[in-house]
Amino acid sequence: MLTRTPFLCSAEYFMDLIPFTEWPLRGRLQERLGALDYRMPTQVQQDCWEDIVSGRDLLVQSCTGTGKTLAFALPLLNDERNERPGSVLIVLPTRELAMQVAKVFVSLEARTALLYGGGGYAEQLRALKAEPAIIVGTPGRLLDHLERGSLDLSECRVLVLDEADEILDMGFAEELDRILAALPEGRQSLLFSATLPPEMEELASKTLHNSRRISVSIGLAAAKDIRHEAYEVAKPYRLKALANLLCVEEPQSAIIFCHTKAETDETAQELIGMGVNVLSLHGDMAQAERTRTLNCFRSGNFKYLIATDVAARGLDVQGVTHVFNMGVPQNTETYIHRVGRTGRAGRTGKAITFASGRETLHLQRLLSRAGLRPQFCTLPQAEDVRRRLREQFHKYVSEHISYDENDKYVLLASELLAYLGPNEALAAALSLLPQARAVFESGWDVPVPERRRESKAESNKLLRRLADKIAASESLGMSFIQLSVGKHDGCTVGSVLKLCSEAAGLAKADIGEIEIRSHTSFAEVPTDAAAAVLEGLKNSRGGGKPIKARLISPAKAKVMSLEDGKGSVGGNKAKKNEESRERSNTPGGREHKGRVKAKNGASERRRKNSGFLSERRAKRSFAQGKERKTAKIADSARGRRGRRRTP
């Protein structure tokens, strides 16, 4: 019996995890864990143990890097009843995931059969004839064996659907239904999924009975060692931006994520054309080619792998230092899945995302839900790339000075210097080296979009509207509070509604209008509860930072700064206006005010006079031009008459 640890909704590790040596595991299984150097469990492994051992159905929401495979492998292998042939069926969406899970079971000395599309039938049939206790496979190949009669699931005790959301996303719903129909009704069912869309809820309702849900916080503890950076780059220029970053960042190993297979191939071809050696991985590749690609990447022969989300599911490669997102992922879970490839085993990592326009706001919202915040950085341009390459070349040459092989080149160098100057000889030699030429030829100048700011007229209009709204609200017994988080912090109407209602124990219906702006938000609350709401918000956080809140009056709304990211009302502008008013009430201030007024009046007179003089000059010029044109026409007419009179 394990002492359960309370769930913490944060990105921190559980501090009271129980070592595997204290778990009630069978002797041989305990030995295998020790040999594999598994010492401490993860949150999901400890959370799932008791329910799986007791035979209860589970729906587990957990992301990459949380140790899901051992979460169901250990309790299942610890039960002697699961040693019978065909006791456990594990269904996964991709071949790579199936191979990875099967590898874990084999390492724990479980009799395992691996069934996946693209694998040889003869080998799979031999594995099934050996009566394995654990059957791991993909939906298509499992259904194929069922129809052939080579797979019998009548004795299956436990069904595990791992990455169930991806199984549905890849269009295996029909195959999955037919597999479920072949299973006995009294089985135990375990569903593991990163997301819970409506399709997953429907699958859970027809698959699970008397189930329990376990959710692991999407703000993974591993993400704290990852630096999350973002660059604002329009889509047509992202390949050039990626090439610049690869030169400047110098990743030891990197995975570049694209949304589609077509985008993966296009990105790989473009980078290869730029001189960058990359590999691509997607679902349309043959199994032999996929295996060869992964082996080349794992061995370090290629530093960069371009992949889709589905193809990279379950990809376990050590030493990945960078993850690049060519676009903003659709949801937070997908982002966590991607960046979870780096920053593993206590190492640091870096996740870089390209975004532009509304994508930047979407990215901030995604990371805000996981308790993360992106750092928007300045994109390196061609000159930055060449400066970096120049530094690398200097280091490269300095490291080769001490080589013994250099002795044979000294004689050749002295011969050249006999009739060439040192600069000329060295420059000619450098021009033959690709590394030296790259210093002057590499890098791209990438246009960076500028963020649009509200004009002064727009700002004043919004301020007046807000002040009128607050004044009308006060007459109805409501007040407005301002929060120091806005759209750029991932703030939404729903999140503000939840914050305000929970801060003072109000019903959501008691909260009035909510307005979200770039760096600040406003919420309408009952006047008698405003103080309680402000008090309850003191320890709240949003967008990865503490939330500051204050009561807003119509007068304050007229002088506050809309773009104040720190949440202060009025900001420096209000302070300066107040100081100006105080100075104007002093004798010196009144005298200064008079001088300014006189100066402004003189300027106004000069402007009017200038306009009047300009108008007079324009009329005079027009009249003079008209006179010259009339005279020219008259002279021309006299000339024609003179020519007619000539004999």
Q: Does residue 10 lie in a domain region?
A: no
Residue 465 has pLDDT above 80, yes or no: no
Enclosing H/E stretch for 500? helix 493-504
**Both 427 and 562 in a single domain?**
no
Residue 231 has pLDDT above 60, yes or no: yes
In this structure, what are the phi and psi dihedrals at residue 349, rounded to the nearest 5 degrees?
Answer: -150, 175
Percent share of the chain, pLDDT over 90: 29
The amino acid that residue 143 corresponds to is L
The Cα–Cα gap between 189 and 179 comes to: 13
What 3-state DSSP class applies to 541? Answer: strand
Q: Does residue 571 lie in a domain region?
A: yes
Q: Are strands 188-193 and 545-546 parallel, antiparallel or unpaired?
A: unpaired
The Cα–Cα gap between 114 and 100 comes to: 10
Whether the predicted model's global pTM rises above the 0.85 cut:
no
Q: Does residue 473 lie in a domain region?
A: yes
The amino acid that residue 395 corresponds to is K
**Both 32 and 98 in a single domain?**
yes
Q: Determine the average pLDDT of the residues in 273-290.
A: 83
The Cα–Cα gap between 65 and 220 comes to: 8
**Both 251 and 290 in a single domain?**
yes
The Cα–Cα gap between 483 and 510 comes to: 18
Q: Which of 385-389, 463-467, 469-473, 550-554 has the lowest mean pLDDT?
A: 463-467
Q: Does residue 588 lie in a domain region?
A: no
Q: pLDDT tens digits, residue range 328-340?
A: 987 777 788 788 7
Domain that holds residue 599: 595-629
**Both 539 and 566 in a single domain?**
yes
Q: Are 248 and 279 in contact (CB under 8 A)?
A: no
Q: pLDDT tens digits, residue range 255-277?
A: 999 988 889 989 999 998 888 88
> What is the token pair recorded at 590?
């009144």
Q: Does residue 73 lie in a domain region?
A: yes
Higher pLDDT, 563 or 518: 518
**Both 234 and 334 in a single domain?**
yes
Let me know if 462 is exposed, middle or buried by CB neighbors in 10 A (0-12, 13-18, 19+): middle
Per-residue pLDDT, 466: 72
**Both 91 and 186 in a single domain?**
yes
Q: Supply the angle between the helices 238-249 and 382-400 in degrees, to the nearest 10.
A: 30
Q: Where are the alpha helices (DSSP H) in 563-586?
A: 571-584
Q: Supply the angle between the helices 68-77 and 95-107 in degrees, to the nearest 10.
A: 40
Query: What's the whole-number average pLDDT of the chain?
Result: 79
**Both 235 and 370 in a single domain?**
yes
Q: pLDDT tens digits, residue range 314-366?
A: 566 778 899 999 999 877 777 887 887 887 666 778 999 999 888 888 888 88
Overall number of domains in the chain: 5
